[in-house]
């Protein structure tokens, strides 16, 4: 798609559909996060950037073969890597034999929080959650700093003596 505004709107629609899917799957916290961050804040940031940038994609001349080779090699490597993954949903997967049972059995005695998801996110993985919040804050500050810089006006080069003023 060449129109960047239409691409931003499609991104917002996709985020809302993803939030709806998470809601149907009974993952309310993930659905609210996707709706707020994906469809809300991210779309607003993209639209804010589009007020400064061009509306249409700038065509880039060049060879597309090296990019195609990189994409094909990366895709093949990822597909090859999935062959070594354990079978999806198998009860003997490593996550089901050690980590998940510990969280299920010990989250309430360890943390005193009746909701296992809240116990895992707020207690066991609190450093990770704070790190994610810090990354989002840093990204927001970077976007704000970029958008607060006034755009420069292009100065036309004045003809020097002896040149035509076309």
Residue 101: predicted pLDDT: 84
Please, where are the H alpha helices in the chain?
Answer: 4-24, 28-33, 42-52, 65-82, 94, 100-111, 116-119, 126-148
CA distance 18 to 27: 11
Residues contacting residue 39 through CB under 8 Å, at least 6 positions apart: 12, 15, 16, 19
pLDDT tens sequence for the chain (166 residues): 567 788 888 988 999 999 999 888 877 778 888 888 888 888 888 888 778 776 666 777 777 888 899 999 999 999 999 998 888 878 888 777 888 888 888 888 888 878 888 788 777 777 877 887 888 888 888 878 877 777 666 566 666 666 655 5
Residue 26: predicted pLDDT: 77
Residue 76: predicted pLDDT: 98
Domain boundaries, the chain: 1-58, 91-149
Distances (CA, A) of 71 to 31, 66, 84: 31, 9, 21
**Which residue is listed with tokens 């700038």?**
58
pTM of the entire predicted model: 0.46
């Amino acid at each position: 798609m060449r129109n960047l505004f239409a691409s931003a709107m499609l991104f917002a629609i996709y985020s809302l559909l993803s939030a709806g899917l998470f809601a149907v799957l009974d993952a309310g916290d993930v659905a609210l996060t996707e709706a707020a961050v994906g469809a809300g804040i991210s779309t607003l940031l993209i639209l804010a950037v589009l007020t400064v940038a061009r509306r249409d994609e700038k065509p880039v001349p060049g060879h597309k073969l090296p990019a195609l080779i990189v994409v094909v090699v990366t895709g093949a490597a990822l597909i090859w890597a999935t062959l070594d993954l354990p079978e999806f949903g198998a009860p003997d997967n490593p996550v089901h034999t050690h980590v998940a049972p510990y969280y299920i059995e010990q989250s309430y005695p360890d943390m005193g929080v009746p909701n296992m998801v809240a116990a895992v996110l707020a207690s066991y993985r609190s450093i990770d959650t704070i790190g994610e919040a810090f990354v989002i804050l840093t990204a927001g500050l970077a976007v704000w700093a970029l958008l607060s810089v006034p755009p420069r006006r292009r100065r036309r080069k004045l003809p020097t003596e002896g040149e035509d003023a076309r």
